[in-house]
Amino acid sequence: MAQIISGKAVSASVREELKKETAALIESSGIYPGLAVILVGNDPASQVYVRNKQLACEELGFHPFEYKLGENTTQEQLLDLINVLNKDPKVHGILVQLPLPDHLDEQSVLYSIDPAKDVDAFHPMNVGRIMIGSYSFLPCTPAGVMELLDASGIEIAGKNCVVVGRSNIVGKPMSMLLLQRSGTVTICHSKTKNLKEVCAEADILVVAIGKPKFITADMVKEGAVVIDVGINRDENNKLCGDVDYESVEPKAGYITPVPGGVGPMTITMLMKNTLRAAKMQNGIED
Ligand code: GUN
């Protein structure tokens, strides 16, 4: 039987800490951390995410700035808005909800955000800083995974860490963070040979490939730490991860459930980045 890593519980305790830090910042300096969230179009999942970010801001005492733009917003209009927000001292963090409608160029939009306000850590400057281990912000999902490992007292140094998935948002930065903590890291993807054997060597297995129940018990070492970043729907339209929880849980040492595992951490990490951004932009040390 695995120990269940509760993202809900860890997230709640991090938020308590952030709430206190925010109150202290407001008290001492009058600065309210400001997060601008830009949503273009009507993607239903994105609308839910944006609403949750808004609620998190309210919970922690941040100042939310919300921009809901029409489906037909032009590249120029979006860049103009980002430019205004880059210059607004009340806005400390800027997040453009992805995916953007097809006619917009995602890369140039993300590159236009001031790196000091890039609380998603998607700008190449912030991505590069993660590579060299000198960063201000970590991308929210990998940062959430690290927080879960630390909160569970899991040692990373010297462990075989296998990351399944090589996306810019999760797999690549996740691998860098584990490497920085002296894990021996293997990155797997759709072309990896002997995926099953490689996964079965993992002491820590992080899965982010977006395929429902892809990781089965035969791919997991007895006692391994299994972190499931996936959010999918199964054949009955029920939420499920990239890991076949039913079969893997009895074999794992630790496992994150879906929902209630990595998911609750991501917005909390976004809030942590925004608070840090607010402090940095005002010359306040952590
Ligand atoms: N859409 C899905 N995940 C994310 C994320 O982490 N950041 C942004 N900006 N959009 C997303």
Distance in Å, CA 97 to ligand 1 centroid:
5
Lookup: tokens for 38: 């830009």
pLDDT above 70 as % of the chain: 100
pLDDT mean over 142-160: 98
pLDDT mean over 177-185: 98
Report d(CA 173, CA 130) in Å as an integer.
7
Report d(CA 216, CA 246) in Å as an integer.
9
With cut-offs at 50, 70 and 90, classify the pLDDT of residue 67.
Answer: very high
Cis amide bond preceding 212, omega within 30 = no
Report d(CA 276, CA 201) in Å as an integer.
37
Our mutation pick for probing the ligand 1 site, out of 39, 43, 98, 104, counting the most ligand atoms within 8 A of Cβ, is: 98
Atom of ligand 1 nearest to the CA of 169: 6
Can you tell me which residue has the tokens 């939310």? Answer: 64
Known catalytic membership, residue 97:
yes
pLDDT mean over 162-182: 98
pLDDT mean over 273-286: 94
Atom of ligand 1 nearest to the CA of 141: 6
147 within ligand 1 shell (Cβ under 6 A): no
Find the catalytic residue in 8, 68, 90, 97.
97
With cut-offs at 50, 70 and 90, classify the pLDDT of residue 286.
Answer: confident
With cut-offs at 50, 70 and 90, classify the pLDDT of residue 285.
Answer: confident
pLDDT mean over 178-188: 98
Question: Which pLDDT tens digit goes with each residue over 191-210?
Answer: 999 999 999 999 999 999 99
96 within ligand 1 shell (Cβ under 6 A): yes
Closest CA to 209 of 224, 192, 184: 192
Lookup: tokens for 208: 């982010």
pLDDT mean over 78-101: 98
Whole-number Cα distances in Å, 269 to 205, 219, 228, 240, 281: 21, 30, 17, 22, 18
Known catalytic membership, residue 211:
no
With cut-offs at 50, 70 and 90, classify the pLDDT of residue 1.
Answer: confident
Can you tell me which residue has the tokens 């032009």? Answer: 74
Distance in Å, CA 137 to ligand 1 centroid:
15
Q: Using a cut of 0.85, tell me whether the model's pTM lies above it.
A: yes
pLDDT mean over 228-252: 97
